[in-house]
Amino acid sequence: MKLLLLSMQAGALWGFLRNHLEHPGKARIGFVHDAIGRVPEHDTMQAWLYEERQRVVDLVETVDDLFLAEMKPDEVAEALDRIDALYVRGGNTFLLREAMRISGADKLIIERVKAGLPYIGLSAGSIVVGPSLEPIVPMDDPDEAPNLPSYRGLGLIDAVIVPHADGQLPPYPPELISSILTTYGERYQLQPVDDDQAYVVDDRGERLISSAE
């Protein structure tokens, strides 16, 4: 498998694409929006949301915007077959997982990633590849995904990624991160990732690297 799991900064993104795609500058990237859904243009987070997508647009030739919750399984399969890599953006992890489930994208993504499709996740997109979303309940609101029957993740890796682990973002202060690690650390393998770090999975194994910009 080839996974790049980001927290916030994306300095490692170009190196990952260069290492795993034959022609990274000519690549087509599928960009999954479901962790935020369709955000109104006047939303106060619009600038940050634009910047996350723009970082990908600046590196590759084509970006396909994917809203999984609005797609049927055959449409998801066709979209995954067109792209060179999949990018899953940040937002609410439970909302993202719900969209993956109702569209059937979860099974398709697992299948394609295990077959070699490079996967890039940021925050929610990183968390969802683990075995469970339960340790992230203190960070994200599960009530935003009322049709999600369980906290099961995609199970592509054994660890639950805990993003923003340096406690620099106001919504996730150090005491919140510490509480998550203490409360859930005995039941789950937790992998804290600071905002200037990334967790990589490839043929060299799994490791934490710098992703400073």
Where does the pLDDT of residue 44 fall: very low under 50, low under 70, confident under 90, or very high at 90 and above?
Answer: low
Spot the catalytic one: 164, 178, 179, 210.
Answer: 164
Euclidean distance between CA atoms 177 and 192, whole angstroms: 9
Say yes or no to pLDDT of 48 above 80.
Answer: no
State yes or no: pLDDT of 173 exceeds 70: yes
Give catalytic status of residue 103 as yes or no.
no
* 155 has pLDDT over 90: yes
CATH label of the domain that carries residue 132: 3.40.50.880
Task: Give me the domain span that covers residue 164.
Answer: 3-210
**Structural domain total, the chain:** 1
DSSP assignment of the chain, as one string? Answer: --EEEESS--TTHHHHHHHH-SSGGG-EEEEE-TTT-S--TT-TTHHHHHHHHHHHHTTSSEEEEE-GGG--HHHHHHHHHH-SEEEE--S-HHHHHHHHHHHTHHHHHHHHHHTT--EEEETHHHHTTSSBSGGGTTTS-GGG-TT----B---SSSSEEE-STT--STTS-HHHHHHHHHHHTTTS-EEE--TTEEEEEETTEEEEEE---
Q: For residue range 76-85, what is the model confidence (pLDDT) as tens digits?
A: 999 999 999 9
pLDDT averaged over the chain?
94
Q: Quick check: is 164 catalytic?
A: yes
The yes-or-no verdict on residue 43 having pLDDT over 80 is no
Contact 62, 27 (CB under 8 A): yes
From 103, 123, 126, 211, the catalytic residue: 123
**Contacts with 157 (C-beta within 8 Å, 6 or more apart), sequence order:** 3, 129, 130, 131, 201, 206
37 pLDDT above the threshold of 80: no
Place of tokens 């399969």: 77
User: Could you read off the pLDDT of 98-126 as tens digits, one per residue?
Assistant: 999 999 999 999 999 999 999 999 999 99
Mean pLDDT for 18-27 is 96
User: If pLDDT is split at 50, 70 and 90, which confidence band does 39 have?
Assistant: low
pLDDT at 58 over 60: yes
